[in-house]
Chain A
Amino acid sequence: MSKPLIVEHLTKSYGPGSLAVDDVSFEVKQGEFVAIIGPSGAGKSTILRCINRMVEPSDGRILFEGNDISHVQGKKLRDARRRIGMIFQHYNLVYRLTVMQNVMHGRLGYMSTMDGILNRYKEEDKEKALKLLNKVGLLEYMYKRASELSGGQKQRVGIVRALMQEPSLLLCDEPIASLDPNSSKVIMDLIYELTKEWNISCIVNLHQVHVAKEYATRIIGIRQGKLVFDGPPSELTNVMIEEIYNTSMENLMINGEVRAVG
């Protein structure tokens, strides 16, 4: 299983004549760190959500760990989803619950309905959660309500929740778009280090081209739903960036740094 994810001719249309994703194909190797860049509305989020079927693809295939999951339903779909972690721009925590309760949600896919309803998590899973919370520096916040945390802390809870799923693939949808530069670095470092440590493949949608270049082992460029670039960061030239964002380089520069807002 060197290729846990293969996306073939993925197409998504929201109504006739408008293609959000247009015939996109790519593969992700085990442990790869892939960044998807492109302007707003290019279809980055849709691609990511088609992979774990939060959005139904209109056409094409998703092969995850060798299985075609583009049409599975019910239990089989949940079995696939529990192996695919997801991190969201707005953290998507249940804010009335504690950090610990939120983190344990990552185990729900492995439990019976009753055990999940009644919070009967395994003790070893809870200990694992503590270790991970310690690793992201949130151990002392375990009984705090999620609503009391700062943005960066909320995203760290999101990371731990996703890792509790023991995923082989991690999908990150604009994980740092709502964070300040300092928290952004903390979050990107954590995602990078933890996925590397556990050999998890990772796909990150990003606004910031310079962040993509810094972390990714591979970059995918999307423009109007089409894949226009797929290669290592070294091949992502300024000409290519202009091509992806359909504008000249000066329009993408702030203080000499490429900060394309996508």
Chain B
Amino acid sequence: MADKQKHLPLVDGGEKKMVTIAFFVMLALFTAATAYTQFNPFTILKEQSTFWNFITQDFLPPDIAKAKGLWSAMLQTLGMALAATFIASCLAFVFAFLGSGTTAPYPWLSKIIRAVGSFTRNIPALVWSFILVMAFGIGTSVGLIALTVETFGFLLRAFIETIDEVGSESLEALNACGADYFQKLAQCVIPAAIPGYISWFLYCIEVNIRSSTIVGMVGGGGVGLVLMIYIKSFKYHVAGAIILAIAAVVILVDLTTNWLRKRVLV
């Protein structure tokens, strides 16, 4: 009797079919991509010894004593990330009001601003620095501008979405009170959006600490540039020390921003 019980599915049969199809499509895409790039997942396993030899013999032990200028370069990188995030967030703060549907005074302007944001965001900071290095030469200002441009694009979108989420209800109430445009921004939109602003700002600091290192490697200055110099002159022990120092700083910054997030966003 028991084994004759009818099986009652919990999901509609069509949905189940879709999931199965999606799985096989993904599998096919993975296989095709692997074949195209001629990537053999077993290479890593087979040639592990080469990799570990390189790590243990060339990189380890890290030689921090010989890493001249490491900490001043590290400060430059940190400064670059902080300054870029700060400048970008100030700009995005202003332009987000013009870009968000809830606060945009002119719809045509909001479209232009969103387009500019999308353009600057979708070209990575790495590419921006390549362009800028060609124009201005190597230096931290190049890294700073590259990071600012990309962060501006990203924060503009994030801030616009934050404002969109504020919702029209409280704005409607302020309209009914006879408040004007700037009063509405100051008394309703900004207070409601502040948690979003802070959270995205902190996120961008974390991201920019990492990308300012990479931007530095292609000529944006800071610790990335120092690392690149040591790698290119085959001083791997020093490079190893720098890499570990970067990791330590990144972890430290992440811990700090996490702590801030818990503190500020109640």
Q: Within the assembled complex, what's the spacing in Å between the Cα atoms of A111 and B178?
A: 10
Interface of A is mostly: mixed
Give Cα distance in the complex from A92 to B178, angstroms.
Answer: 15
CB distance B194 to A108 under 8 Å? Answer: no
B177 within 8 A of A: yes
With A81-B176, A109-B177, A116-B183 known to touch, is A96 a contact of B194 (CB < 8 Å)?
Answer: yes
| Cα–Cα, bound, A117→B172 (Å) | 17
Could you say which residues of chain A place their CB within 8 Å of the CB of B195?
96
Name A97's closest neighbour in chain B (CB-CB): B191
Determine if A195 is an interface residue (Cβ-Cβ < 8 Å). no
**Chain B contacts for A9, CB-based, 8 A:** none
Does B187 touch A at the CB level, under 8 Å? yes
Q: Which residues between 104 and 129 of chain A lie within 8 Å of chain B, taking CB atoms?
A: 105-106, 108-111, 113, 116-118
Contact with A along B152-178 (1 / 0, CB 8 A): 000000000000000001101111111
Residue of A nearest to B175 (CB): A54
A88→B172 contact, CB < 8 A: yes
Cβ distance B138 to chain A, nearest Cβ, rounded Å = 44
Task: Tell me whether A156 is interfacial, beta carbon within 8 Å.
Answer: no
Chain A residues within 8 Å of B169, by CB: 88, 90, 92
A82 at the interface (CB under 8 A from B): yes
How many B residues touch the partner, as a band? 20 to 34
Interface string of A122-149 (1 = CB under 8 A from B): 0000000000000000000000000000
Tell me whether A88 and B183 are in contact (CB under 8 A).
no
Interface residue tally on A, bucketed by range: 20 to 34
Interface residues of B in 176-233 (CB under 8 A from A): 176-180, 182-183, 185-188, 191-192, 194-195
Q: Is the CB of B175 within 8 A of A117?
A: no
Q: Does A187 contact B (CB under 8 A)?
A: no
Q: A94-B188, A94-B192, A95-B192 are in contact. Are A105 and B182 (CB under 8 A)?
A: no
B264 CB, nearest partner CB in chain A, Å: 13
Name the residue in B178, B187, B188, B194 with the highest tally of chain A Cβ atoms < 10 Å from its Cβ.
B178
- The contact sample of 26 A-B pairs, CB cut-off 8 A, is A78-B178, A80-B178, A82-B177, A86-B176, A88-B169, A88-B173, A92-B170, A92-B172, A93-B173, A94-B170, A94-B174, A94-B188, A94-B192, A97-B187, A97-B191, A105-B173, A105-B187, A108-B179, A108-B180, A108-B183, A108-B187, A109-B178, A116-B183, A116-B186, A117-B182, A117-B185
Residues of B whose CB lies within 8 Å of any CB of A are 169-170, 172-180, 182-183, 185-188, 191-192, 194-195
Interface residues of A (CB under 8 A from B): 52, 54, 78-82, 84-86, 88, 90, 92-97, 101, 105-106, 108-111, 113, 116-118, 158, 161, 165, 171
